[in-house]
Amino acid sequence: MKKSNVYLYPTTEDRNCAETALEVFLTVQSGTSRLAMLGALKGILKKYRLSKLNLVNCTVEFSGSDLAIKPKRFIKDRTCPGCKEDLYSIKSKVRILSICEGSFSDIVTYGCQCGEIFGKVESPQ
Ligand SMILES: [Zn+2]
């Protein structure tokens, strides 16, 4: 059996940094914090030459030069599984983190101010 390659594994510090960047964006929800989050995540992926980074609530991976944030759990209804916030209300505390377009439906990754990250399959009406 071929021995698998040894990859450098992100330090706890760098993993915490990625988690914090996500957390800050979910709390603050500003355009600047989104850019800072994406910058931090890209920086860590590049530092370790990773195509994918496994975090607590999601995985982050490169799709081309863009970053895709993929959820670990999916919901079917329209509320956050953590705090029951409505996804689609005008003042919703839920933000779209990432959209993965498919031919029949899209997988949308949502992040809520309470810290939950979850996905939903959204079909065009
Ligand atoms: Zn929530």
Tens-digit pLDDT profile for residues 68-78: 999 999 999 99
> What is the pLDDT tens value at each position of the chain, 125 positions in all?
555 555 568 999 999 999 999 999 999 999 999 999 999 999 999 999 999 999 999 999 998 888 999 999 999 999 999 999 999 999 999 999 999 988 899 999 999 999 999 999 998 76
Scan for tokens 């005008």, then name that residue.
Answer: 90
Scan for tokens 């003042």, then name that residue.
Answer: 91
What integer pLDDT is reported at residue 124 of this predicted model? 72
What integer pLDDT is reported at residue 9 of this predicted model? 83
Q: Does a structural domain hold residue 42?
A: yes
Structure tokens at 73: 């759990």
What span, in angstroms and rounded, lies between the C-alpha atoms of 92 and 1? Answer: 52
Q: Looking at the 3D structure of the chain, how many domains does it have?
A: 1
Q: Does a structural domain hold residue 7?
A: no
User: From the CA of 87, how far away is ligand 1's center (Å)?
Assistant: 9
User: From the CA of 72, how far away is ligand 1's center (Å)?
Assistant: 15
Q: Does a structural domain hold residue 3?
A: no
Structural domain containing residue 62: 12-122
Ligand 1 ion: residues within 5 Å (CB): 80, 82-83, 85, 112, 114, 116
What integer pLDDT is reported at residue 6 of this predicted model? 58
For residues 119 and 71, the answer to whether their CB atoms sit within 8 Å is yes
Long-range Cβ pairs for the range 86-92 (8 Å, 24+) = 87/120
User: From the CA of 48, how far away is ligand 1's center (Å)?
Assistant: 31
Q: Does a structural domain hold residue 91?
A: yes
Q: Does a structural domain hold residue 2?
A: no
What span, in angstroms and rounded, lies between the C-alpha atoms of 15 and 43? Answer: 11
Q: Does a structural domain hold residue 32?
A: yes
Q: Does a structural domain hold residue 94?
A: yes
Cβ neighbour number for residue 99 with a 10 Å cutoff: 13
Q: Does a structural domain hold residue 21?
A: yes
User: From the CA of 9, how far away is ligand 1's center (Å)?
Assistant: 30
What integer pLDDT is reported at residue 2 of this predicted model? 55
Indicate the residue type of 25: F
What span, in angstroms and rounded, lies between the C-alpha atoms of 96 and 119? Answer: 9
79 beta partners: 86
